[in-house]
Amino acid sequence: MTKWEDLKRLQAAAGARHILDLFAADPARAKGFAVDALGMRFDYSKTNMDSAQRAALIALCDGAGLADRREAMFTGAPINETEGRAVLHTALRNLDGGPVPVDGQDVMPGVLDGLARMRAFAGAVRSGKARGAGGALTDVVNIGIGGSDLGPAMAVMALAPYHDGPRCHFVSNVDGADIADTLRGLDPTRTLVIVASKTFTTIETMTNARTAKAWMEEGGGDPARQFAALSTAQDKTAAFGIDADKVFGFADWVGGRYSVWGPIGLSLMIAIGAKAFDAFLRGAQAMDNHFRTADWGENMPVLLALTGLWHHQVCGYATRAVLPYDQRLKRLPAYLQQLEMESNGKSVAMDGTPLDGPSGPVVWGEPGTNGQHAFYQLIHQGTAVVPCEFMVAAVGHEPELAHHHRLLVANCLAQSEALMRGRAPEDARAKVAGAFEGAELERQAAHRVFPGNRPSVTLIYPQLTPEILGQIIALYEHRVFVEGVILGINSFDQWGVELGKELATSLGPIVEGAESAAGKDGSTAALVEFVHRHGGG
Ligand code: F6P
């Protein structure tokens, strides 16, 4: 019998219980099903989980050897077993922690040295000391994709109120539209291009980097002064022509989707300055310490993970929505999509055997309140249950617009309440009683019924500061780790992205017309033919 069957039995035993029944039975539920840590509150009381079910979920942690796996991660053991690597993004924010050995060697001197080099470079760019061919650098273009784009792009947007450095832009897509639209209007003599790629082989990034270099040369800029690289592959950065003093290296134990804390965060540091970047790291470090020391029942990442497993593995809800009521977290759902789906979207366990249940869920979302006027209809009345993860700050950054923020908070809280309460048929009838009667009243009322009993969790924090953003990102990183350990997955490889890359490489010459599509399936060959017929390729 699998661990999930026990939990499913417990869930089935609760029958058609309503979340409101849980509040009625336990007046202290709001407190008992919430974690307060590091100034934030994670409230999971609006889920259909009782104490016995929570205890059974918590037991999964010990059953999976979570404490040992956690220590193995923090202390540099090669837990990424399919790639034979340690997983040490936590070392990048271990600002005043102790040594972290990998293969008997403390990595911290290298981490701190790398950080010092980033600070010096970012400081020079911000002060105008580092200059382009045409003077002080006004704009920074980060070229990267996946983890080499989403982290800094998300964080730069999130921390806009702290932005006092040059303007930052992000180019990721190999679609020429991305780089063309970004470079248009920029001065090639006063733009810094940062090529961010762990491997320095990613086709999208290298194609964009070459295009940017040509643009700079044609426009009178000086790539020798105006290009920097963030990579583990220093031989390749040198071959591209980037001077070693503008190359910021990192080790292979930093996974792409966990890399914003080190050199990949350079654009963020240039945007907000080294002091605010330090606060970002310190927030993450505080969450690391919390994750490492708090009991399972008081541990925010653990409870966020267990709530996720409850909904996905036990209740069978296929997706979860991340709904930040924070416009500046607009890119967070995309960031979390990579973090969660690239980490836990696997079919086999660490030992290569099939999983005993589904892998991680589909993650999606948009900022509130925008989503309310788009897809919330389905969340409230559709047949699929979508567990929602709401986020909101108590205070915004626009004191003169406090009335906006009040409305934002009210909407966020209203949605989780509405999802839980729903609207009963008798209330729906009362709503339309004046306008209709008889069968028409019944028909109209049916459309206005909300089933309710729909689960959500809420993360509330004082204000979206660098420190809080660091805490939030680290919270989600550890959530993914805990879910992965309990699922038995290696959350740190991503073999599933390889096949598409290989096929794209083989299709390149076919799309170009240099090779024939014979040998491809009929659909692919016909699509290539369409491109050629319309002048493409
Ligand atoms: O193809 C997936 C992936 O390897 C991600 O894991 C990574 O974040 C992204 O591509 C970019 O890789 P790189 O930083 O090596 O260019």
236 C-alpha vs ligand 1 centroid, how far in Å? Answer: 16
Q: What does the longest C-alpha to C-alpha distance in the chain come to? A: 80
Residue closest via CA to ligand 1's atom 10 equals 146
Q: Note whether 260 and 92 are within 8 A (CB).
A: no
> DSSP readout, 211-260?
HHHHHHHHTT--HHHHEEEEES-HHHHHHHT--GGGEEE--TTS-GGG-T
- By the 8 A CB rule, do 288 and 66 touch? no
Q: Which of 93-107, 121-135, 227-241, 476-490 has the lowest mean pLDDT?
A: 93-107
To the query of whether residue 501 is one of the catalytic residues in this protein, the response is yes
Q: To the nearest whole percent, how much of the chain has pLDDT over 90? A: 98
Q: How many CB atoms lie within 10 A of CB 138?
A: 16
Q: How far is the CA of 336 from the centre of ligand 1 (A)?
A: 15
Quick count: other Cβ atoms within 10 Å of Cβ 390? 24
Instruction: Check pLDDT > 90 for residue 429.
Output: yes
Separation of alpha carbons 138 and 141, rounded Å: 10
The DSSP bridge partners found for residue 230 are: 196, 248
What average pLDDT does range 381-409 have in this prediction?
A: 98
Contact 66, 485 (CB under 8 A): yes
Which residue's CA lies nearest to atom 1 of ligand 1? 497
pLDDT band at 1 (very low <50, low <70, confident <90, very high): low
311 vs 323: CA distance, rounded Å: 16
pLDDT digits (tens, 9 = 90+) for 33-57: 999 999 999 999 999 999 999 999 9
200 C-alpha to center of ligand 1: Å? 9
Residue located nearest, by CA, to atom 3 of ligand 1: 146
% the chain with pLDDT above 70: 100
**CA 149–ligand 1 middle distance (angstroms):** 9
- Mean pLDDT over 293-312 rounds to 98
What's the CA gap between 447 and 184, in Å, rounded? 49
Mutation probe of ligand 1 site: the residue of 198, 258, 477 with most atoms within 8 A of C-beta:
198
H or E stretch at 151? helix 150-158
What ipTM was reported for this prediction?
0.98
pLDDT for the residue 328? 98
- pLDDT at residue number 69: 98
Catalytic annotation, pick one of 31, 129, 404, 501: 501
Ligand 1 site: residues with CB under 6 angstroms?
A: 145-148, 197-199, 202, 205, 256-257, 342, 494, 497
pLDDT at 411 over 80: yes
Structure tokens at 379: 């969340």
Pocket test for ligand 1, best of 85, 145, 499 (most atoms within 8 A of CB): 145
Rounded Cα distance, 492 and 477, in Å: 11
- State the distance from the centre of ligand 1 to the C-alpha of 202, rounded, in angstroms: 7
Query: In the predicted model, what is the mean pLDDT of residues 175-180?
Result: 98
For the segment 63-96, what is each residue's pLDDT rounded down to a tens digit? 999 999 999 999 999 999 999 999 999 999 999 8
Model confidence over 206-231: pLDDT tens digits? Answer: 999 999 999 999 999 999 999 999 99
Banded pLDDT at 97 (limits 50, 70, 90)? confident
How much is the pLDDT for 467? Answer: 98
* Whether the predicted pLDDT of 25 surpasses 80: yes
Residue nearest to atom 8 of ligand 1 (CA): 147
Given 218, 373, 403, 502, the catalytic residue: 373
Q: Which atom of ligand 1 is nearest to the CA of 145?
A: 11
pLDDT in tens, 441-461: 999 999 999 999 999 999 999
At 445, list the tokens: 């009322």
The tens digit of pLDDT for each residue in 459-472 reads 999 999 999 999 99
Spot the catalytic one: 89, 290, 311, 342. Answer: 342
Does the pLDDT value for residue 3 go beyond 90?
Answer: no
Residue 378 to residues 88, 107, 129, 406: CA-CA distances in angstroms?
Answer: 40, 49, 53, 26
* Token pair of 277 as six digits: 């970047």
Ligand 1 mean position, distance from CA 243 (Å):
23
pLDDT in tens, 500-513: 999 999 999 999 99
**Residue 506: CB atoms within 10 Å:** 11
Residue 395 to residue 406: CA distance in whole angstroms = 9
**What pLDDT does 311 receive?**
98
Q: Assess whether 342 carries a catalytic annotation.
A: yes
Q: Is the peptide bond preceding residue 369 cis, with omega within 30 degrees of 0?
A: yes
Rg (CA), the chain: 25
